Amino acid sequence: MTMTDSEQAGDTQVTGRELRPQDEAAGRVWDIAATVNDPEIPVLSIADLGILRDARVEGGRAVVVITPTYSGCPAMETITTDVTRALNAEGYDDVRVDLVLQPAWTTDWMSEDGRRKLDEYGIAPPTGRAAAGPVRLGLTVKCPRCHSLNTRELTRFGSTACKALHVCNECLEPFDYFKVH
């Protein structure tokens, strides 16, 4: 699949469902890759997370394109290995996984199903959409346990770089919040 100029510039919110190739062979590669879970948030597949960007077959080789949530994300090596193993297990002996940094990943690419899974897992999903400019507004973060909006940020960095640590002022439970970016 070829992205349009506006998609490459990050101007649209293109999620995994829209990116799945229509071609049968490429679609099969996509479906297999989409079964791979993020090692840091195991309830999310790489498709749910929105880092699975393309899949195709080139001369018998299965090619999968992923975009890291952050440049230097430590999970990329594991994800690359897991995608390769999943495809190998389904009979694809020749596999290439490409990391693409542009356009940069945004939480806008996360599926609605992925956001729901995060909430059920106890991680507050990102609120709002990524800012187009330098100004970011602090939106209220809902507690994934008691659903109160009476929460506060404890620290900008949580258990991983893509999460912040928050606490609920009602149930007093700490929780991770998947940051918007």
Regarding whether 89 and 135 lie in a shared domain, the answer is no
Residue 4: its pLDDT value, please? 38
- The tens place of each residue's pLDDT in the chain, 181 residues long, gives 334 333 433 333 444 556 888 899 999 999 999 999 999 999 999 999 999 999 999 999 999 999 999 888 889 999 999 999 999 999 999 999 999 999 999 999 999 999 999 999 999 998 866 555 555 556 789 999 999 999 999 988 877 878 889 999 999 999 988 888 7
**Same domain (yes/no): 135, 104:** no
49 in a structural domain: yes
User: Are residues 139 and 83 part of one domain?
Assistant: no
Same domain, 170 and 99: no
| Residue at which a domain ends, from 108, 134, 161 | 108
pTM, full prediction: 0.76
C-alpha triplet 152, 48, 54: angle, nearest 5°: 135
Provide the pLDDT for residue 6: 35
Per-residue pLDDT of 124-151, as tens digits, reads: 998 866 555 555 556 789 999 999 999 9
pLDDT of residue 19: 82
- If asked whether residues 19 and 86 sit together in one domain, one would say yes
Same domain? For 27 and 87 the reply is: yes
Instruction: Give the CATH number of the domain where residue 68 resides.
Output: 3.30.300.130
CA distance 86 to 23: 20
Q: What is the 3-state secondary structure (H, E, C) of 59-117?
A: CCEEEEEECCCCCCCCHHHHHHHHHHHHHHHCCCCCEEEEECCCCCCCHHHCCHHHHHH
Domain membership of residue 127 (yes or no) is yes
**Does residue 137 form part of some domain?**
yes
Cross-strand partners of 167: 152, 174
Residue 71 is predicted with a pLDDT of: 81
Query: 162 lies in a domain?
Result: yes
- Same domain for 91 and 21: yes
Domain total for the chain? 2
Same domain? For 139 and 62 the reply is: no
pLDDT for res 138 = 61
Domain span holding position 98: 5-108
